[in-house]
Structure 1
Amino acid sequence: MSQHPETSFTPDLSSPQKQSPDEQAIAWLVRLQDDQASETDRRAWSAWMDQNPIHAQSWRKIQRIWHGMEDLAPRRASTTFRHRALRQRAWSTLATAAAVLLVVAGITSISLHHSPGLHCLGADYCTRAGELRQITLADGSRISLGAASAISVQMENHQRQVTLRHGEGFFDVAPDTTPFRVKAAAGEVRVLGTSFNLRLEPAGARVAVASGQVEVDTLGHQVTLNPGQVLHYDTSRLQRLPDVDVNSIGLWRQKRLLYQNTPLGEVLRDLERYHSARFSVDPDVAAIPVTGIFSASDPEAALHSIVNSFPVRMSRYTHFFIRISAN
């Protein structure tokens, strides 16, 4: 992680005047809890407190909420921050706390991301935010594992089985008489030799076929998909989605993210897997349709493009938590 510059911190570097006092207090609290908070930051916080009596009221309110979340407080972990892994875990805790503070303080939003690193627990292969990985299995099948994703693999006793635990994967399955099975959410994809993209979503999963055929087994139904066909399923329903160009399936492998009338919340959920920060989107803007193509190599530029193109604003709560809300 990069070091913080020795400059005065403001709650929202882009437009602090648009943040409510409660939001500013949350940003200050999270910033000051960071072990790299500087004396300059503390002096700037003190000046902010003196600037307006409402600031002090908001600070006391957020402090009361924070102390009611003692099990999340990062101070207990501060002495171990010299270790990178523990530092990342503590920052993840801060991000979680910031999200909870926003909600408890009445600033409703939808958190989009699980704590970084937790998705790797119990997985055979996993990736970090922004990382893509190529995996070749014992049978010759190839998996492109998307950013912030995880899989478990079982290739023994005449089985070819993969479980998508988090994120997204593109599967290029080697032909064999033994079916290749991929479990994801409440369903299973079965193939003999084909290529397809599978992505977990907040409620269920989405499968898109690039070549060959796949059979999706979920909710007691079997659905066969051909190239270009897309299916979403969750615990209560199956939904056929509009067909797509097979060349666009798995385009993220080229670090390009393509959207056509896709809800903003879904776009941000994708971008978050390539960004070091956790995102939150307000429900009143989550359904805005987005059409465009973004570079996964530069998710920050994609965020700014979205903010400049739609009636939304971006608020930063230190370097690891971003909120998208109505303008």
Structure 2
Amino acid sequence: MTSTSAVDRQILSQAARLLVRLNSAHASAADHAAGERWREQSDTHRRAWVLAQQLRHETGTPPADGGPALREDAGSAGVSTGRRRALKTLSWLAIAAPAGWLASRLPWRTWSADFRTATGELHDVLLADGSQITLGSASAINVAFEPNVRRIHLLAGEIMVRPVSDVRGPAGAATTATPLLVQTAEGAVEARGAQFSVRQRDGFTRVAAFRGDALATPAEGSALMLTQGQWCRLTRDGIAAPQALDPREAMWTRGLLYANDMRIADLVDELARYHAGVLRYADDVADLRVSGIYQLTDTDATLALLQRTYPIRLRSITPYWTLVEALDSARI
């Protein structure tokens, strides 16, 4: 049987080859129609397409959409330097998908994790010791119970942890459990209470203590005991001063986002974690303040509600690329 990792790599390679072909000056209407059919085969195909687009976007060129916008250079003899660079990157991806370079750029580890969620999915896990873990969107963990420690390695995303403080021994008697640690790229968080969350961000870890305390230890710095009702930002070499935590933040475990005078830029960033495809905001709307309780697991409904409630509009650059902008923005 072909492994999941091998299938994912094969589909990603297909997405790259398809995107290269559709970005060529000779792509036909039939090619674009075939691309659309390929993408709609499954969620895996759609995720692979988005990943390939993101790699293209990193080169500084506009996103592709599998439609007329892809044919921006059709019929022209010249191709921009940026576009040539994008095509070269994608061609490399199409040929060498299993290579180490790609493995470092794409989430192979999360695809083979012990527990993981897709974009927009929430999942509750009951560990062997009775501890409960809620995985947020696009999250992944590995679990290892060792003689002296229960370790959860957060590979990506966000988890809510409800650890058990005692376990049953061979005779049925309660004994003190070994320490439960959540390991991230920046350090470790040890459970000292009944409920805490850990979120892996780009370059730092966010830790929040909802019930009881949590001990945060950076890879190269002093530990900090986070008390109930606090959150902190953990980096490899230190911990920022703790801040007050709104307990309603825990609503994400039920698929809800509480916003109280939140910048729409921050709201869109949160929704983007649950949204299939690329979701961005324009500078002209970034500082608009919003309040309410919004659905995370139905981002289309939330975006439609925001559009009805606030002076914003949604502009679909492609079926998988949406921009939130001010209502009076001039169309490009």
Is TM > 0.5 for Structure 1 vs Structure 2?
yes
Report the 3-state secondary structure (helix = DSSP H, G, I; strand = E; otherwise coil) of the residue aligned with 1:271: helix
Residue-by-residue CA offset, 1:188-210 (whole Å, 9 max, x unaligned): 11124521122223341222212
CA distance in 2, matches of 1:79, 1:314: 26
Amino acid at match of 1:89: A
2:212 equivalent to 1:212 = yes
* Contact 2:122–2:135 under 8 Å retained in 1: yes
Report the 3-state secondary structure (helix = DSSP H, G, I; strand = E; otherwise coil) of the residue aligned with 1:213: strand
Amino acid at match of 2:277: A
* Contact 1:174–1:192 under 8 Å retained in 2: no
- 1:157 Cα deviation from its structure 2 partner: 3.2
* Contact 1:233–1:239 under 8 Å retained in 2: no
Amino acid at match of 2:158: E
CA distance in 1, matches of 2:258, 2:141: 24
Residue-by-residue CA offset, 1:54-98 (whole Å, 9 max, x unaligned): xxxxxxxxxxxxxxxxxxxx98xx989867634541343135435
**Counterpart position of 2:241:** 239
2:95 equivalent to 1:135 = no
**Counterpart position of 1:120:** 110
CA distance in 2, matches of 1:251, 1:127: 18
When the two chains are superposed, the root-mean-square deviation of aligned CA atoms in Å is: 3.8
Which structure 2 residues correspond to residues 53-64 of structure 1 after superposition, within 5 A?
none
* Contact 1:155–1:161 under 8 Å retained in 2: yes
Report the 3-state secondary structure (helix = DSSP H, G, I; strand = E; otherwise coil) of the residue aligned with 1:195: strand
2:152 equivalent to 1:150 = no
Identify the match of residue 90 of structure 1 among 18, 24, 49. Answer: 49
* Contact 1:229–1:242 under 8 Å retained in 2: yes
* Contact 2:307–2:313 under 8 Å retained in 1: yes
With over 3 angstroms needed to count, the CA separation of the structure-2 counterparts of 1:202 and 1:267, relative to structure 1, is farther
- Aligned length, in residue pairs: 254
In structure 1, the gaps of 5 or more residues are 1-28, 43-73, 106-114
Greater CA drift, 281-290 or 253-262: 281-290
Report the 3-state secondary structure (helix = DSSP H, G, I; strand = E; otherwise coil) of the residue aligned with 1:194: strand
In structure 2, the gaps of 5 or more residues are 1-18, 64-81, 84-104, 166-175
- 1:164 Cα deviation from its structure 2 partner: 1.4
2:281 equivalent to 1:281 = yes
CA distance in 2, matches of 1:271, 1:242: 23
Identify the match of residue 102 of structure 1 among 59, 62, 76. Answer: 62
Which structure 2 residues correspond to residues 119-268 of structure 1 after superposition, within 5 A?
120-175=110-165, 176-218=176-218, 219-235=220-236, 237-245=239-247, 248-268=248-268
- 1:144 Cα deviation from its structure 2 partner: 0.6
Report the 3-state secondary structure (helix = DSSP H, G, I; strand = E; otherwise coil) of the residue aligned with 2:241: strand
- Please report the TM-score for the alignment, with normalisation by the length of structure 1: 0.64
CA distance in 2, matches of 1:81, 1:294: 28
With over 3 angstroms needed to count, the CA separation of the structure-2 counterparts of 1:87 and 1:136, relative to structure 1, is same
- 1:227 Cα deviation from its structure 2 partner: 2.0
* Contact 2:258–2:294 under 8 Å retained in 1: yes
With over 3 angstroms needed to count, the CA separation of the structure-2 counterparts of 1:165 and 1:283, relative to structure 1, is farther
- 1:216 Cα deviation from its structure 2 partner: 0.9
With over 3 angstroms needed to count, the CA separation of the structure-2 counterparts of 1:187 and 1:309, relative to structure 1, is farther
Amino acid at match of 1:127: T
- 1:296 Cα deviation from its structure 2 partner: 1.8
* Contact 1:251–1:258 under 8 Å retained in 2: yes
- 1:213 Cα deviation from its structure 2 partner: 1.4
Amino acid at match of 2:53: L
* Contact 2:232–2:239 under 8 Å retained in 1: no
- Please report the TM-score for the alignment, with normalisation by the length of structure 2: 0.64
Report the 3-state secondary structure (helix = DSSP H, G, I; strand = E; otherwise coil) of the residue aligned with 2:128: coil
* Contact 2:216–2:234 under 8 Å retained in 1: no
* Contact 2:192–2:215 under 8 Å retained in 1: no
With over 3 angstroms needed to count, the CA separation of the structure-2 counterparts of 1:232 and 1:89, relative to structure 1, is same
Report the 3-state secondary structure (helix = DSSP H, G, I; strand = E; otherwise coil) of the residue aligned with 1:250: helix
